[in-house]
Structure formats: structure tokens, C-alpha cells
Amino acid sequence: MDWTQLVSISLFFIFLIVFLLKMNSSWNNNSQNLPPRPRILPFLGNLLIMDMKRPHRTMLQLSKVYGSVFRIQLGFQKIVVLAGYKTVKEALVNHADAFAERPNIQLSDEIHEGILFSHGENWKVMRRFTISALRDYGMGKRIIEDKITEECRVLIKTFESYEGQPFENTAIMNSAVGNIIVSIVLGKRYQYEDPTFQRLIKLVNENVQLAGSPPVLFYNMFPLFGFLFGARNILLNNKKELFGFIKTTFIEHLKALDENDQRSFIDSFLVRQAEKNKAEGYFHNENLTAVVNNLFAAGMDTTSTTLRWAILLMMKYPDIQNKVSEEISRIIGSAQPKIEHRAKMPYTDAVIHEVQRFADIVPANVARATTVDITFKGFFIPQGTHIVPLLTSVLHDESQWEKPYEFYPEHFLDSEGKFVKRDAFMPFSAGRRICLGETLAKMELFLFFTSLLQRFTFQTPPGISKEDLDLTPAIGFTAPPMPYKLCALPRS
């Protein structure tokens, strides 16, 4: 070992010791009335007590011991967890500005532009523009309803092509839902078998799942040891390929750009870039690439995952499926389902809401950070603190839901069978960082779900009973169902 290596190793350990001393000073100083926490170990923090495949489950259990506001430490990550409906709502809604930032997490900081993980004024400008542009291209309007309706027809034909034989629906559902956001962002749709489209979907879905995998979580805790975590490299390579596709696409859009005939979200961004780049400085190519990537990930993964849960749950609970089908037959008949039907279909609406609650597809939420020092629920939380508003604790709050761990559509029905809104229904989060695609997602869920249940009865493949169906979610940043096969039998 030469002297340069000795110096490097010595500097590393000096840095590590200083870092650990600093980390264990203010964070462990209870004179500031910080939230309670489990006992921590040097370097590891609370790592040894965590279920790293599903850390939200450990957080939920800890909330029963330490209350609705508590601290944990994972390696070098210092986190305050908020649990339960009342606490999460008070933070994200009543103190929306104070809990409106994103924390500095290693991997998300490496993808720092766009909307999802961006900070400060960049986030505000990009979010305002994106919401405005999505509305311009039909979000919440008839124009996007027509696109979803047309995609429903293609999806139904694809299901029919299996002629009642078992098939796995992940790629199909991803393609159908993906085409809706692609139509807004790129101004086109793809055939389901298109290799470019399938590669795009694979990159997006793989990154969403890797982002919540144990290797990436360990990398965020110990970024100095990044070379040990191959999943991080896969994720960044996927990002590079995905960003390359997006950049190539908007270069093609530039060639035919007409500010008087804007065809897509990318066109709108490019026109704004030409108009205001010098004045604002936010409408640059890196932001465009990152925003489009955010829209792909949010627009494809969450809605298609929810629909896959919906079909699985209809097979698991055929009596509920029959009630939905009966209401569809009574209210819609053989006509094309439309958003206007939803108000007349309380049971179907309740089932869709209960799928979202039960599936709990973003259990740990997307992390927040405090923008200021704040005293919250009697505890001092410093500015810049990493906050986990634990959504699973809201959607399963025993004080809010009659049967929190069962699939029970009656959560959203009153004694007369009318649909009722529930304040603790928060699958899209809340506050300043609430999901900006909520309106689009609700429209997609209703139209895709009712169109499929109007045409098909979903059953388990031969030899598999409904009791055999596994409702254990897969591991990832979102929580999709485990892959399963279904039989789509035409309704008589």
C-alpha cells in the first residue's frame, strides 16, 4: 500500500468520525424537545430493527409505541415520521407551507430537476406550468375522456383476443394507461406491441420498483459506499436511456414546432422556453427531460397498478364483482361508460375508492422536508428535516375505518347505499405536493374499470381458487400486486 492510499484511507476515516460526531450532536440533543425515538446504534442508527423490504410496516409498528410523531435514524438519514390521519392532515394541510419541501436524499438529488424531487422556486414554476399545460391538453375535460374511451376499446379487444384463456395483464394495463399520458406529452399513441413503447414502459416501471428496493435504500443511507450497490447503477443507466429517448423526441418536436399549432405538452414547453428562458431560467432542456420523465412515471405506474389490484380483488371477491356488474348493467346498459355515469353509480364508485385505500400503493408517501423550524404537536422539528408522512397509517387508521385491513366497499357508503366521501381517503397525498394528476387518474380509473366490468367476468385460471390468490404486495417504491393470471370471460 503506497502513501497516497494511506492518506486517502486516513482522510476517509477522519471524515467519517467528524460526520458521526456531528450527526450525533444536535439530532440527539433532547433539550430542544425533539420527537421521541427508539434507541440508536452508532453508524447504523435504527437499521437493525427495520424491515428494509417494507420499511413502512416497521414505521407503523413504531408509531404504536412512540406516538404519531417520532424520529428514526437509518444510517446517516435522520427522519421524522408522521402517523395517523389527524397528524398527517395537520402537517400537510394545516401547515402546508412548512412541510412543502423535499429532503436531500442521495439518489433523488442525482435526478434533481423537474417536479417530483425538485426544490424551491424551480419546483413551484415547473408545477404551475405543468398543471396549466395538462389542463390545456384535456385533463379533467371531454377531450381526454374521449382518448381514454378510445383506449378502452383497444384494451377490450386485447382482452378478447385471449378467448377466455389465462393471461398476465401487467404489460397490457401498463400499455393502455401509458398511452393516455403519452398522448398528452408526445401527442401520439403507440400500438401495444411497439418495441419502443414497451422499452419505455420497462424502463419506467423498473426504476419505480428499484427506487424502493433495499439496495437503493441502503445507498441513500450510506452514499459513500455507492460502488457497492449495483441497483443504483441500473437505475441511473435506465434514467440515462430514458432521458435519451425524451431528448430525441423533443428534438424531433423542435423541427416541426409551430407556436400557433401546439400539439403536445412538449410543444408547449418548447414554446415557453423560446419566450421566457432568458427571463425565468427554468425552461431549459434538463427540466423538460425531467418533467416528462416524472409524468411518465406518475402517469403510467400508479394508475395501472391500481387497475391491476382492482381486477385481482374482483376475482378474490366475486360477490362484489357481481354487484358492480349489476349496477353497470342497470345504469349504463350496453352504452359506452362516461364520467357523467359516476354520480349515478355509488356502489361502483365505492369499490374503486376502496381499491385505492386497500391497495395502498404508495405506503410511505413521497418524502417531505420542513421549510422552516417548526414546533409541531409539541415537538421541535428543525428546518430541512426529512419527513415521512406515512400514508399507510392514514389509509389503515383504526379510528377512521371500520375494517381497516379488509376490503370493504361499505367504507364509502351510507346506510342508504349512497356514496360518501371520507376525509381520511388520501391516496394522492395532500397539501402543496399533492399528486398533480389526481383528476386524470380518477377519470382513468372509473372509465377503464367500468368498461372492463361491463364486458367481462374475471375469474381465476382453472385449478386456482379465489382463496389461492395472493394479496401480498410486491416490493418497490410503489406496491403493485404480485404477478397473477386471470381469465376474462365475455359477459352474456
Binding site as annotated, residues: 435
Are the CB atoms for 297 and 208 separated by under 8 Å?
yes
Spatial neighbors of 360 by CB under 8 A, at least 6 apart, are: 391, 392, 395, 396, 427, 473, 479
Distances (CA, A) of 12 to 19, 163, 224, 341, 362: 10, 63, 9, 64, 37
List binding-site positions for heme.
435
| DSSP3 helix / strand / coil % (the chain, rounded to 5) | 55, 10, 35
The three cell numbers locating residue 433: 405536493
Q: Which residues pair with 45 in a beta bridge?
A: 41, 74
Spatial neighbors of 434 by CB under 8 A, at least 6 apart, are: 428
The three cell numbers locating residue 377: 404537536
Instruction: With CA atoms as reference, report the closest residue to 257 among 184, 180, 187.
Output: 187
Are the CB atoms for 23 and 29 separated by under 8 Å?
no
Instruction: With CA atoms as reference, report the closest residue to 212 among 355, 392, 34, 397.
Output: 392
